[in-house]
Amino acid sequence: MIFYTLYANDRGELLDDPYLQMLGGSGDKWVAPDPEEMTPLPEGASLVTVPRQRAVGLDGYGSPKLVSGDEAAWAVAALLPQGFTRTLIPAGVRAENGNGKLPLLGYAAIGFYDGQIYAAALQTDEHRKWHPDNFNTDDLPLKIKKFRTKYPRNRIYAQLEQCAAEYSCFTAQNIFYRRWEGGIPTENACNACCLGCISEDHMGILSPQVRLSFHPELEEICAVGVEHLAKAEDAIISFGQGCEGDPALNAELLAAAIRKIRAAAGTGTINMNTNAGYAEGVKKMCAAGLDSMRVSIFSCLSHNYNKYHNPRGYDLQTVTDSLKLAKEHGCFIALNLLTFPGFTDMESEIEALLAFVSKNPVDMIQFRNLNIDPLQLWQQIDISEEGTGIVNLIRVLETEAPHLRLGSYTPPVGKKI
């Protein structure tokens, strides 16, 4: 299979170049995709132009070439629905006026074959619960209004209304749909300054959402938690959303909330998304009854971990301490692996990941496409070797760590009726 180059003109029309083979990006290299790295464009994916980036392809002599013609030819990409892991980023050349940083989006390379658009992606989890058709429905505003009327003074519901309506956050919307994983933001401080942070402006990048601006009261947290766990389908409540900092820093309050929620709602899963950099906070929340913990991690090598996460007052050893404390309390532990083609699949990174999961109590790896401008990432992180491919990364994990569950989402693991 040979995939051909797709591009967009200034009118936003999608065109194909039948003389240029598709190229994708892996690390700081351009590569022609293998068929196993490509999948028909998934339902729910969006096609977008990559700002200020000229489209390129591979000519018949095996040389990279800019798409040329009578008008501009801009690189295009897919924004993948959840449950699909990107295998290549779009290849392209920044235009002369293209010095600005790209938005924090997970651009995936696309190509054209036999009349069909393909994306550089693999499906890594069941798609149903996170399919875009299930969200932003016509009745969502009415559902939000009912909750806001029932809890007019609850500031968490007010925050979730903003997240659901303005940011189209799926976990916020699930609270109002009364189903699946629902987010409960509670903490605005963080002990890391990650390069790809989506809730705080830094390094010249505007965050796509605004961080929580208040500390909720115990009763506000419990009202949201009990309502969801007691009434939602396959209910999960999660502390640690994109609009907040790290919930473990709020452990005293959240531990009290977990106990009170559990006393009122005996079913469902209580989860925390965290960097696990505050081990004492993790311990308090797990002792209170936390069921599941998802730990975001860019690299299992200390130097790369530090360059991406910029931890404040903790290190990778603290993270491993937190994992062990959580498992001592029976917590289900997932690594939220921030995945970037050409980096995460480097041999040194794969070996470090395998060593990490062999020494630490990890139950699952959740692949999470890292939304960041590639040039920004390469300015901070050394690419010392070529990637072996995301497909290879997954195969190695399946072979060398068969005890791990591989996926993209937090599963229900808590109490059941």
3-state secondary structure 241-268: CCCCCCHHHHHHHHHHHHHHHHHHCCCE
- Per-residue model confidence as pLDDT tens digits over 331-371: 999 999 999 999 999 999 999 999 999 999 999 999 999 99
Distance CA 183, CA 170 (A): 9
For the chain, what's the residue count?
A: 417
Average pLDDT in the 301-305 region? 96
Confidence of residue 415 (pLDDT cuts 50, 70, 90): low
Residue 397 has pLDDT above 70, yes or no: yes
Distances (CA, A) of 294 to 53, 280, 336, 408, 409: 35, 16, 6, 11, 10
Class of domain 129-407: alpha beta
Residue with tokens 């619960």: 129
The DSSP symbol for 36 reads G
Residue 208 has pLDDT above 80, yes or no: no
Yes or no: say if 286 and 331 are a contact pair by the CB < 8 Å rule. yes
pLDDT at position 103 is: 85
Confidence of residue 71 (pLDDT cuts 50, 70, 90): confident
- Per-residue model confidence as pLDDT tens digits over 8-21: 999 889 999 999 99
Residue 302: both structure tokens together: 């200390």
The DSSP symbol for 134 reads G
Buried b (16+ CB within 10 A) or exposed e, 379-402: eebeeeeebbbbeebbebbeeebe
Q: What is the DSSP string of 94-132?
A: E-TT--SPPPS--EE-EEEETTEEEEEEEE-S--GGG-G
pLDDT at position 409 is: 92
- Give 123's contacts (C-beta < 8 A, 6+ positions apart): 39, 42, 83, 84, 85
Q: Which amino acid is at 372?
A: I
Confidence of residue 70 (pLDDT cuts 50, 70, 90): low
Residue 168: both structure tokens together: 């189209």
The DSSP symbol for 27 reads T
Kindly list the domain boundaries of the chain, sorted by start residue.
Answer: 4-123, 129-407
Q: Which of 272-276, 332-336, 382-386, 403-407 has the lowest mean pLDDT?
A: 382-386
Confidence of residue 417 (pLDDT cuts 50, 70, 90): very low
Distance CA 229, CA 227 (A): 6
Paired with 346 in beta bridges are: 387
Yes or no: say if 121 and 39 are a contact pair by the CB < 8 Å rule. yes
Q: Which of 26-30, 134-138, 201-205, 284-288 has the lowest mean pLDDT?
A: 201-205
Average pLDDT in the 90-95 region? 91
More confident residue, 415 or 366: 366
- Give 233's contacts (C-beta < 8 A, 6+ positions apart): 178, 179, 180
Residue 243 has pLDDT above 90, yes or no: no
Which of 70, 80, 79, 96 lies closest to 13 in space, CA to CA? Answer: 70
Average pLDDT in the 236-251 region? 93
Q: Are strands 24-26 and 29-31 parallel, antiparallel or unpaired?
A: antiparallel
Distances (CA, A) of 215 to 154, 159, 192, 247, 259: 12, 11, 19, 11, 19
Average pLDDT in the 368-388 region? 91
Residue 62 has pLDDT above 50, yes or no: yes
Average pLDDT in the 70-78 region? 89
Write down the mean pLDDT value for the chain: 93
Q: Which of 239-243, 283-287, 298-302 has the lowest mean pLDDT?
A: 239-243
Yes or no: say if 269 and 413 are a contact pair by the CB < 8 Å rule. yes
Residue 175 has pLDDT above 60, yes or no: yes
Buried b (16+ CB within 10 A) or exposed e, 224-250: bbbbbbeebeebbbbbbbbbbbbbbbb
Average pLDDT in the 139-159 region? 97
More confident residue, 379 or 211: 379
Residue 178 has pLDDT above 70, yes or no: yes
pLDDT at position 198 is: 74
Which of 294, 296, 297, 225 lies closest to 254 in space, CA to CA? Answer: 225
Confidence of residue 97 (pLDDT cuts 50, 70, 90): low
